[in-house]
Amino acid sequence: MSIFSTILSKIFPSSHPAVQAAAAPDAAPVADAAPDSPPADAAPAAAPAEPVDVEAILTALADQNPEKLNWRTSIVDLMKLLDLDSSLAARKQLAEELDYSGDTGDSASMNIWLHKQVMTKLAENGGKVPDDLKN
């Protein structure tokens, strides 16, 4: 399972389509899991899942965590909050998964990009994410 898929599974309910698509073997990238147009013989689409309030979930986790983690701006703290490996190697792997084209040796720039990209991808997959966390 990719790091981003693990992030999805820690925030979204297991019944959410984005989590199920991420868990499927040989699944397409999660944000691209739905085709642009369904095949003519496709079954009727299921009702879209309710948006997941990412901010509320992460705030609740932060309130329960004894460490004061700044998940709103720090990818390291976000990963720690979700009980994930936040090492530089793990962040470089996440950057590769999300097609980071910058210099992974510049960890500060990479971290800022990663945080914004993770929030954007959560929104693309059915998460309700405030605009200030995506930009």
What digits encode the pLDDT tens for the residues 82-94? 999 999 999 999 9
Q: Does 36 map to a domain?
A: no
CB atoms within 10 A of CB 49: 16
What digits encode the pLDDT tens for the residues 6-65? 999 999 888 878 777 777 765 445 555 444 444 444 444 445 567 899 999 999 999 999
What is the maximal distance between C-alpha atoms in the chain? Answer: 52
What is the pTM assigned to this prediction? 0.78
The dihedral through the CA atoms of 3, 121, 104, 86 has a sign that is negative
Total of domains in the chain = 1
- Gap between the Cα atoms of 11 and 44, Å rounded: 27
Output the pLDDT for position 117. Answer: 97
Q: Does 90 map to a domain?
A: yes
Pick from 117, 120, 119: nearest CA to 100: 117
For 107, the enclosing helix (H) or strand (E) is: helix 107-124
Q: Does 62 map to a domain?
A: yes
Q: Please give the span between the terminal C-alpha atoms of the chain, in angstroms, as a whole number.
A: 27
Output the pLDDT for position 135. Answer: 74
pLDDT for residue 98 is more than 70: yes
Q: Does 7 map to a domain?
A: yes
Q: Does 128 map to a domain?
A: yes
Q: Does 43 map to a domain?
A: no
Output the pLDDT for position 44. Answer: 45
Query: Residue 99: which domain range?
Result: 3-28+51-134
Output the pLDDT for position 38. Answer: 47
Q: Does 15 map to a domain?
A: yes
- Gap between the Cα atoms of 132 and 106, Å rounded: 23
What digits encode the pLDDT tens for the residues 109-133? 999 999 999 999 999 999 999 999 8
DSSP annotation of 105 reads T
- Gap between the Cα atoms of 61 and 66, Å rounded: 10
Output the pLDDT for position 124. Answer: 93
Show the CA angle centred on residue 28, arms to residues 26 and 30, nearest 5°: 120
Output the pLDDT for position 49. Answer: 66
